[in-house]
Amino acid sequence: MKSRFILITLFLCCCLVRSGAENYPYRSDVLWVTVPDHADWLYETGEKAVVDVQLYRYGIPEDAVVSYSVADDMMKGDVDGTVKLSRGRARVNIGTRKTPGFRDLRLTATVGGKKYSHHIKVGFSVDKIRPFTKEPADFMEYWKDGIDEMRARPLAFTKELAREYCTPKMDCFLVRLELNGRGQAVYGYLFIPKDAAAGSCPAVLCPPGAGIKTIKEPLRHRYYGENGFIRLEMEIHGLDPRLPEPMFRDISNAFNGRDNGYLANGLDNRDRYYMRRVYLALVRALDLLASLPQWDGTNLAVQGGSQGGALAIVAAALDSRVTQCVVNHPALSDMAAYSAGKTGGYPHFNKMMGMMTTDNIRTMAYYDVVNFARHVKADTYMTWGYNDDTCPPTTSYAVWNVLSCPKESLITPINEHWTSDATEYGQFEWIRRHLRKKP
């Protein structure tokens, strides 16, 4: 196992805009800098963590009063205090943990009459973090039965040229993939290198992040198709991505609100839960890729972030043909942990009234990514940050620590819920380096 820890200091970040490179933070008067006394932001349980806090306005140290609270990852604060900055800096002792996990230092200061906030998470004995969620005895049998039932119907899809996304090096097709005999389907943009010979191309499935939305920026990862890869950028709701953006907003507002979101739809029953069709659709999408004459017959990768990262792990667990699995901060991980007063994963059902019922928790176990991670055999590359409040680092480690496949990590502590373009291109390069030779 290889782990690369990349610490990105705030002073070295920059944003590229049309006018050229601009200093970080982008067009803000105030800059926070928080530096733990352990360079990798990691401690053993029982060790005390101290964070150097710096605050600048216009690049000049600001002697403000900073209010702070300290909390376990995603939990309510249990320690509160204030500190007066001297020459723009102070040190805050955030204590320790007796159990593996993360502590979150949350900072607030008023500068020039405006309130500014910042936070930083540090980890304790993170290699010992284990998920709360347990695997049902019939877990893989349940999913095998679902796949067999789906495959009882022949693979069926339509494919039409999407000229607006073709380039001199690749063709793009809008695909509608049938899922069952009830008219349900998913759409995707399929990129195939121009004039690719039969059996010459690795294939990559890219499932989407959370939400009801169009497939945004289909050409964002054009370097796959333009470097000899087949790539399918898919959606999961059966909505044509060519629909106008206002229509997607209306649909999302109507069917994906706080109290009626698709990730909660049918959660009381494992057979009626919304995500059942989504998980099975991943296997069907892999069937589509494997049916293409240009596929090399060996390399079938999955790649995604957040919900897409969760779905990448699900696909790799359910389909033994997957050879490479690339994941950013996976969602849907250890979701029921909140029921035990522990840190849980997105979509944070603890924030939704009445969701932590016995029936719902039972269903969650059949859809939780930590249970799928236990069955992944593909080479896996996973990236996550510590400051993430959407897919918290505690749940990323819960996934990472149960993976028993060949695995590598890229940990970017300062990152919240995002990855850079450079990181995502690096994932493409990782897949290319890990391609398997055709038998």
User: Which CATH number do you get for residue 157?
Assistant: 3.40.50.1820
Asked, for residue 192, whether it belongs to a domain, the answer is yes
pLDDT at 240: 97
Domain span including residue 184 = 139-433
Q: How many other C-beta atoms can be found within 10 angstroms of the C-beta atom of residue 246?
A: 8
pLDDT at 11: 34
Asked, for residue 20, whether it belongs to a domain, the answer is no
Best CA proximity match to 137, nearest among 418, 397, 371: 371
- Both 316 and 181 in a single domain? yes
- Both 334 and 425 in a single domain? yes
Percent of the chain with pLDDT over 70: 95
Q: With 90 as the cut, is the pLDDT of residue 23 above it?
A: no
pLDDT at 26: 77
Question: Would residue 117 show up in a list of annotated catalytic residues for this protein?
Answer: no
Please state the rounded mean pLDDT for residues 90-115: 97
Asked, for residue 88, whether it belongs to a domain, the answer is yes
What confidence tens digit (pLDDT) does each residue in 56-78 have?
999 999 999 999 999 999 999 99
Token representation of residue 299:
């390399």
pLDDT-derived band at 15 (thresholds 50, 70, 90) equals very low
pLDDT at 424: 97
Given 319, 388, 396, 434, which residue is catalytic? Answer: 388
Please state the rounded mean pLDDT for residues 397-405: 98
Phi, psi dihedrals of residue 11, rounded to the nearest 5°: -65, -20
Q: With 50 as the cut, is the pLDDT of residue 401 above it?
A: yes
Asked, for residue 168, whether it belongs to a domain, the answer is yes
What confidence tens digit (pLDDT) does each residue in 408-439 have?
999 999 999 999 999 999 999 999 999 999 88
Asked, for residue 4, whether it belongs to a domain, the answer is no
Question: Would residue 80 show up in a list of annotated catalytic residues for this protein?
Answer: no
Among 73, 99, 128, which residue terminates a domain? Answer: 128
What confidence tens digit (pLDDT) does each residue in 371-386 have?
999 999 999 999 999 9
**Do residues 431 and 326 lie in contact, with contact meaning Cβ atoms separated by under 8 Å?**
yes
Among 96, 128, 160, which residue terminates a domain? Answer: 128
- Both 276 and 347 in a single domain? yes
* Residues 6+ positions from 205 with CB-CB distance below 8 Å: 231, 232, 234, 282, 285, 286, 289, 300, 301, 302, 303, 312, 315
C-alpha to C-alpha distance for 85 and 276, rounded to whole angstroms: 52
Asked, for residue 6, whether it belongs to a domain, the answer is no
Bond before 25 cis per omega within 30 degrees: yes
- Both 96 and 157 in a single domain? no
Q: How many domains does the chain have?
A: 2
Among 93, 128, 163, which residue terminates a domain? Answer: 128
Phi, psi dihedrals of residue 100, rounded to the nearest 5°: -60, 140
Given 118, 375, 417, 434, which residue is catalytic? Answer: 417
Question: Would residue 250 show up in a list of annotated catalytic residues for this protein?
Answer: no
- Both 251 and 337 in a single domain? yes
Asked, for residue 10, whether it belongs to a domain, the answer is no
What does the mean pLDDT of the chain come to? 94
What confidence tens digit (pLDDT) does each residue in 247-287 have?
999 999 999 988 889 999 999 999 999 999 999 999 999 99
Please state the rounded mean pLDDT for residues 302-329: 98
Asked, for residue 133, whether it belongs to a domain, the answer is no
pLDDT at 181: 84
pLDDT at 238: 97
**Do residues 396 and 403 lie in contact, with contact meaning Cβ atoms separated by under 8 Å?**
no
- Both 209 and 234 in a single domain? yes
What confidence tens digit (pLDDT) does each residue in 344-355 have?
999 999 999 999
What confidence tens digit (pLDDT) does each residue in 196-221 have?
999 999 999 999 999 999 998 999 99
